[in-house]
A = this chain, B = another copy of it.
């Protein structure tokens, strides 16, 4: 049981942008900071821009920035939008389902309920809670409530050095 790597990268891009709200960040610096491929992150950034979470500016001095307040971005919503496969077991996909128990089996309802509980927990926190830029929400399950954390970001190596578009 795991999330797609794509979701992992999506969360990291949002966290990086939230931790650096005072400036535009580049895909190149995020890729270097996380040790990930620029191509992967470019797709992530484009998807987040399409969802209205990020804004990208092309050209020299351009980059990526969060459009919405981190406190308005629920982690559950981010994961829901990023994950494409919630087929926990075969019968979740009625097109290919061949299980003979489907008509009366209660397993699917139980797994549905468990998934709901999972997302209820993720919905209890926002991007601001995760990067520690706002007091954590006081609700159940909000991690590290009341505390603040400073996220160490590596120096943006190479930023602006080669005059290529900042979203490279």
Is A12 a contact of B125 with CB atoms below 8 Å? no
Is A100 a contact of B143 with CB atoms below 8 Å? no
**Chain B hits for A3, CB < 8 A:** 1, 88-89, 111
Is A152 a contact of B88 with CB atoms below 8 Å? no
A44 within 8 A of B: no
**Chain B hits for A81, CB < 8 A:** none
A162 within 8 A of B: no
A34, B102: Cα distance in complex, Å: 11
Binary CB contact string for chain A from 148 to 161 against chain B (1 if under 8 A, 0 otherwise): 01111110000000
Q: Which residues of A line the B interface, CB within 8 A?
A: 1-5, 7-8, 11-12, 15, 33-35, 75, 79, 83, 85-90, 98-101, 103-107, 109-111, 113-122, 125, 129-132, 136, 141, 143-144, 149-154
Is A34 a contact of B149 with CB atoms below 8 Å? no
Is B100 a contact of A153 with CB atoms below 8 Å? yes
Is A110 a contact of B104 with CB atoms below 8 Å? no
Distance in angstroms from A111 CB to nearest chain B CB is 8
Is A122 a contact of B132 with CB atoms below 8 Å? no
CB-nearest residue of chain B relative to A92? Answer: B2
